[in-house]
Structure 1
Amino acid sequence: MRALKWILAVSGMCVALAGCGGGGGSSNTSTSSASGTSTPAAAVSTAFADPTATPVSSGSANTVPIVVSSFSNVRNFPMVSVKVCQPNSGGTGVTCSTIDNVLVDTESFGLRLFASAIPTSTLNLLTQQTQSGQTVAECASFGSGNTWGTVRAADVSLSSEVAVNVPIQVIADPSLAATIPTGVNGCLAGTNMTTPTALGANGILGIGTSPNDCGLNCENNLVAGAYYVCPSSSCTPAKVTVANQVTNPVTKFTTDNNGVIVEMAQVPDTGAATATGTLVFGIDTQSNNALSGTSATILPTTLAGDMDAVFEGRTYSKTAFFDSGSSGLYFQSTVLSKASNGFYTPAAPTGMTAVFTAANSATATVKFNVSNGVTLINSGNYAFNNLGVALFNSIDIGMPFFYGRHMYYGISGQPASSAGAGPYVAYVSS
């Protein structure tokens, strides 16, 4: 679920989606059925064999279990539990609360939790960030909408890994009197998500390739749609140092801090009611997170995790990426038939290929399957490895690609792994 501040232009990206993935995002298919008229299909290839990599155990100290289920109305949303505590408490004690059903998002950066999901006893202990006595707030804009709230400090605990005193965003914080900024200096266009139901999760765990959510741009410039100071009921854009920006918590772990691996078990091509996997911290730091010797496809990326790509003869510049927070495979095809609501509807499971070009000019042929999205949604299942949705101007390889694979994300500025220094994405399919 890509935060739109990383995208130069987002208008016209979506076609009739139930939930637009504007450079990342979700297919919000809350209804029990889906329908729409289809355009004719051209000749297509047969489906590829499904990848078969299996997750490691989630019982180790550097792992947490991932679950895809019907917790929300959103298909293909991988969820984990996150513990937040009073800052500098070491991630333990009575000041902590565990927040379940937090979206694992490999294309955003930093932890964002709805205030309503944090017990008041813990929320009141999370120190609010201020500038000259004025509350610091942030607007993060995703394809599914905006998150507006305060910036607070917390200790963030994931299994036995603890990030001490890390800035997080508290969405819809009742202590923030100011309403979401609009207009030329306001948030980017989109719905203001004020409840977990609007997002489909209790928050977003952004663990992608960047160590923070804006970087030097927000430290040196007033960036509309990013950070604000709010003296009263109104806010103005503000500069925020990198150290005080909402931060990828993995970078604050004592060890296992150079990246993550999202590992999902494969699901049937007709979908499954639930799916499971493991979120692993660190790359080449322990026996359960090796990249060396795996024969992985390794693709260095931009800081935001982007690459170039060619698909169906069209070239995409720095707008192709792999995103666990996107519930479908989002791309533009003139070959596949498509329902009026944006779901691709091939008559039979169809294999598609895109050629990705990494930041070091290495290339990889990315293979994925697409089935009839209307039929999949109408099945009532929640985990799909072949759900395709129309999207212009980018190629968003979302959660369907993750099933049966180990997806590695090397974080920029952190210790190098066998793949070198981040940022990079790598994957193993067997």
Structure 2
Amino acid sequence: MPTAVGPGNTIAVTVSGTGIHNQPMVSVTICTPGSGAATNCSTIPNVIVDTASFGLRLVRSAIPTTTFNALTAETDQTSGLPLAECALFGSGYAWGSVHLADVALSGETAQSVPIHVIGDSALTVSAPTECQVGRQLATTADLGANGILGIGVSPTDCGTACATTALSQYYYTNAGTATSVPVSGQITNPVTLFGQDSNGVILEMAQVSDSGSATAHGTLVFGIDTQTNNALSGTGATLIGTDANGDFTSSYNGATLRTTFFDSGSTVLFFPDLSIPIDSSSGYYIPTVTVGRTSTLAATSPASVTLGFNIANGTTLNASGNNAFNNLGIYLSRQFDFGMPFFYGRHVYYGISGKASTGGGTGPYVAYVSS
């Protein structure tokens, strides 16, 4: 079961009817940068918890004007022009401006955090061609949410590569020219700027029915082995070292999949299995009866682990009217994305790169305990 919400390092997570199934949501408060999250604050509901991206991204229309006007626009260190950013997701691309804000999540506060304001009408130049991959994510309708809270294993969304080189598909001036940005000015995982609870997070979700549930609930806990309610040490969790993006290696159906990750921002399990019938229009797996499968994960402790999961008929599940599913899958080649169905009935840990915990060592790593 999820940790009870109440202490200052916990915040409630809900999955409900937002128009897109399996979207875990929290509320995020943003305020004037440097105010200690005390001035011109607004609480933005329905922000997706995404453990495979890094940094806070909010739709401009979801931010009240008074609060938005109190945010500081970040500028390019060379030209002095306002910064913009491109962010690529499996579902499309987000283009918007970069601003500083104080970010509060329950009792945790991060000051002067670079955030991404997507769909900002003040950014009149169109997204560069190299950014336009898939459909544009510019509105709450596009996202099915007011924003994305990226709390994966990386402190920033690019790191030293963008600090030394103007990389396409990352940072630009508001004139659309690619530019480099110091690490401190990049879109930042706000958890890294918290106090004692800055070394990671735990996403804990209650189990849901195999036929789907109308709603689901859980808790996002900040810190790992820093308080009594966020222990990894002594839990017997499966521990997996990852690369800087949170990826590790798994084996499935005899194939080695080097891009494997636990991603609460994905609504289904994405993986390659042509033995399961596939709906040609949607890509959903549609077995006539629920099928069980296993994946072998290359772990740190133990050395490897077999992870079982079920896949039900996606057409039937989607027609049920429910919103939370633990057995929904879509075909995807050459990688395994353990999306939101994986999280139900588990505590899933994310150790941030360069930060240590007693139970996980120095990040980046992921870990999980199953019910």
Q: State the shift of 1:188 in Å.
A: 4.7
Whether the 8 Å CA contact 1:302–1:359 is kept in 2: the answer is no
1:401 aligns with 2:346: no
Shift of 1:181: 1.1
Is the aligned partner of 1:133 residue 2:80? yes
Quote the offset at 1:336 in angstroms: 1.3
Who is 1:316 aligned against?
257
Residue 214 (structure 1) aligned with residue 154 (structure 2): no
Following the alignment from structure 1 to structure 2, what is the Cα–Cα distance between the partners of residues 180 and 414? 34
> Of 215, 224, 229, which aligns to 2:173?
229
Q: Distance in 2 between matches of 1:334 and 1:359?
A: 30
Structure with the greater relative contact order (CA < 8 A, sep ≥ 6): 1 or 2?
1
CA contact (8 A) 2:239 2:300 kept: no
TM-score by length of 2: 0.97
Identify the match of residue 89 of structure 1 among 35, 49, 57: 35
Could you list the per-position Cα deviations for residues 31-82 of structure 1 after superposition, in whole angstroms to 9, with x for gaps in the alignment? xxxxxxxxxxxxxxxxxxxxxxx101111110000000112x2110000000
The 8 Å contact of residues 93 and 136 in structure 2, kept in 1 or not, is answered as yes
Contact 2:239–2:301 (CA<8 Å) still a contact in 1?
A: no
Q: Which moved more, 1:129-138 or 1:146-155?
A: 129-138
Q: Is the 8 A contact 2:272 2:331 kept in 1?
A: yes
Equivalent residue for 2:286, pick from 326, 345, 357: 345
How is 1:304-383 mapped onto 2 (pairs within 5 angstroms)? 304-317=245-258, 319-340=259-280, 341-358=282-299, 362-383=303-324
Partner of 2:144: 200
Cα distance in 1, alignment partners of residues 110 and 35 from structure 2: 11
Whether 1:277 and 2:212 are equivalent positions in the alignment is no
Native 8 Å contact 2:353 2:362 kept in 1: yes
Specify which of 66, 74, 77 is matched with residue 121 of structure 1: 66
Gaps of 5+ in 1: 1-53
Please give the alpha-carbon distance, in whole angstroms, between the structure 2 residues aligned to 1:112 and 1:214: 15
Alignment partners' CA distance in 2, 1:360 and 1:227: 38
Determine what percentage of the aligned residue pairs are the same residue.
54
Q: Which residue does 2:10 correspond to in 1? A: 63
Structure 2 CA distance, aligned partners of 1:188 and 1:359?
Answer: 38
Residue 227 of structure 1: how far off its partner (Å): 0.3
Which segment drifts farther, 54-63 or 188-197?
188-197
C-alpha RMSD of matched pairs (Å): 1.3
Higher strand residue share: 2
Look up the match of 1:104.
Answer: 49
- The amino acid that maps onto 1:198 is D
Q: Counterpart of 1:260?
A: 201
User: TM-score of the superposition, structure 1-length normalised?
Assistant: 0.84
1:101 partner letter = N
Amino acid aligned to 1:390: Y
- Return 5+ residue gaps in structure 2 as ranges: none
CA drift at 1:361: 9.4
1:386 aligns with one of 327, 334, 337: 327
**Partner of 2:357 in structure 1?**
416
Checking the alignment, whether the CA contact within 8 Å between 1:127 and 1:154 is kept in structure 2 is yes
Aligned amino acid, residue 75 of structure 1: H
Letter in 2 for 1:397: F
Aligned equivalents of 1:147 and 1:361: distance in 2? Answer: 38
